[in-house]
Structures are given as C-alpha cells and as structure tokens.
Amino acid sequence: MSNASVGDWNPNRNKNRAITIHSFKGGTGKSNLSANMALILAERGWNVVLLDFDFRAPSLNALFQMNSIKYWINDWLAQRCELNEVLVDLSDRYQTMGKFLVGFTNPSGKAINEMTMHSLDEEWQARVLQLVLDGKDLLFEQYGINFQIFDTSPGFAMSSINAILAADDPILVIKMDHLDIVGTYHLIKGVYDQTLGKKPELVVNKVPCSMLQNPEDYKRLKSELSLKLGIEIIGIIPCFCEVMENMGRHLFVKKHPDHEFSQSISRLAEHFEKGN
C-alpha cells in the first residue's frame, strides 16, 4: 500500500461524478454500500476515491482492517496535510483494474470529540466546504479520478451537508421502517429541497425478504415509496443474513461476488456508470 501521487496514472474514461451516500437514520447500510460499490467500480476499471465523511462514527478503517494510517481525513481538514497524503492506494491489495484510493477518518475518542467541537463552527465548516470543492477538482482534473464517493454521517450533520453540496449524485439510503421513512421525507423537504436545492435518489436497503417474494413486489414497493417521498428509487436491496454474518469484517462483494447482495450492488454501480 502506498499514498497517492500525481502522475501515477491517467484518466481512463471520461466520467467525473461525486456521489454522497447519506441517510436520515444510522445503520441503514451506508458504509457497506459505499465501500462495496467503490470496490466494484474500481474492479471494472474506473479510478475511484472513497472518503469516510462520517466523523461521528468513522468505520471504513475497521471495514478495510487498516492498522497503520499516517494521515487521516481529520488532518486534511485541519490543514495538517494535503489530500493526496490522506489517500491510501488499495489497488494492489484488491487487484483492481482502476485505481482504488481510500481516505480514512480517525475513530479515536479524542478525534471524534475534536470533530464534534467543530461541528457548529461556521468558519471551520466554510473551510471544509472549500477543501471539498477544491479536492473534487484536484481529484478529477489532476488525478483522473472518475468516481469520488463520500460515506457520510446520518441526519443533519454539517460535514454531510458540505459533501452533499459538492455532490453530483446525492444518494439517500433507507430501511423499511416507518420512522426512517417519515424522517427521510422531512430530510428531503427541509434539507435537500429547501436548503440545498438538490434532488437525491433513493436506495432501499435491508428489505425483509417476505416483502420481496416476486418481481411485482419490487415494482409495488418502488412506486409506493417514490410516490411517498417524491424521488426516484434506484435500488431495492433485500436483508441478507449472510451480510450480517459477515459482521463488517470484509468487503462482502470481494468474498462473495455471486451472492445476490453483490449483484444488487453491481446493479447500483451500473446506474452510475450509465449516468451523465
């Protein structure tokens, strides 16, 4: 593993999308979806950067089983290092065709407290937004990155809002849970519509298999939810015991590429490959 440096590779295809994976509630599957989809895109030859933007519950370091990180995203945002020094090149580890770079967030209590203290600091947040926007240009233009994926904190966290502001494809993930559906409705109206002027797309995750017995069930669920929330549903993913049994110890799609969960993530990746 090494840190990223300019000129290591060239843009392979003409696509630059920044995707945020966000939700109203925690535990909807954002980190798992972000990491597995990022890997699939890199396996298919796209240059991908995955960034842990969940400063309350950073989890990518555990998911990728990282034990020595020189610079965290925390250091980049505090201007103690440059963005390229944060990115760890995992292309060799996962044998991806495209570049697979990941930026990790420090999960220590001290670092989480530090980030929490900055959460309402307007000057800090304005600087974070500028760093994210500049970083996006740098990654797309100088590093030839095709997809930049942000795994974010749930709800109204300012760091998530900053990433969403920079996003081309803001994605919301929900579970089949009444409280989550109602909360997501308010998040869409209050934050995405009124404050950000963005229209997110929706992934419905962890749907009980009893609700998805035949293709008609998928269609019905899709039209019901899209009517209720006023946005497009781009993925419906069943709840799989095998994913839970994996306990976040590996990237599921690498270990079980033929599993239905992996196929669902693969279809999601195709949605972004086909987009503008």
Q: Which residue has the tokens 């690498």?
A: 254
What span, in angstroms and rounded, lies between the C-alpha atoms of 52 and 29?
Answer: 14
Tell me, residue by residue from 182 to 221, as one string, x for binding to ligand ADP by CB under 6 A and - for no binding. Answer: -----------------------xx---------------
174 forms part of the interface with ligand ADP (CB under 6 A): no
What span, in angstroms and rounded, lies between the C-alpha atoms of 46 and 99?
Answer: 7
Residues in the chain: 276
What span, in angstroms and rounded, lies between the C-alpha atoms of 160 and 138?
Answer: 20
Q: Single out the residue of 51, 188, 225, 237 in contact with ligand ADP (rule: CB under 6 A).
A: 237
Q: Single out the residue of 121, 141, 244, 263 in contact with ligand ADP (rule: CB under 6 A).
A: 244
Name the DSSP letter for residue 85.
H
Q: Which two tokens stand for residue 52?
A: 């842990």
Q: Choose the stretch contacting ligand ADP; rule: CB under 6 A; options: 21-29, 78-86, 106-114, 139-147.
A: 21-29
Sites for ligand ADP among residues 52-91 (CB under 6 A): 59
**What count of other Cβ atoms lies within 10 Å of the Cβ of residue 236?**
21
What span, in angstroms and rounded, lies between the C-alpha atoms of 154 and 149?
Answer: 15
31 forms part of the interface with Mg ion (CB under 5 A): yes
91 forms part of the interface with Mg ion (CB under 5 A): no
Name the DSSP letter for residue 258.
T
Please, what is the Cα angle at 203 between 231 and 223, to 5 degrees? 50
Binds 43, which of ligand ADP, Mg ion, none (CB < 5 to 8 A, cut-off by type)? none
Q: Choose the stretch contacting ligand ADP; rule: CB under 6 A; options: 1-9, 87-95, 223-231, 239-247.
A: 239-247
What span, in angstroms and rounded, lies between the C-alpha atoms of 65 and 146?
Answer: 25
Q: Single out the residue of 2, 26, 223, 275 in contact with ligand ADP (rule: CB under 6 A).
A: 26
CB closer to Mg ion, 31 vs 148 = 31
* Residue 205 host element (H or E): strand 201-207
36 forms part of the interface with ligand ADP (CB under 6 A): no
Please, what is the Cα angle at 248 between 243 and 249, to 5 degrees? 115
Binds 29, which of Mg ion, ligand ADP, none (CB < 5 to 8 A, cut-off by type)? ligand ADP
Q: Choose the stretch contacting ligand ADP; rule: CB under 6 A; options: 3-11, 73-81, 216-224, 242-250.
A: 242-250
Question: Cβ 32 to ligand ADP, closest distance in Å?
Answer: 4
Q: Single out the residue of 22, 30, 99, 118 in contact with ligand ADP (rule: CB under 6 A).
A: 30
Q: Which residue has the tokens 């993913």?
A: 237
- Give the residues lining the site for Mg ion (CB under 5 A): 30-31, 54, 59
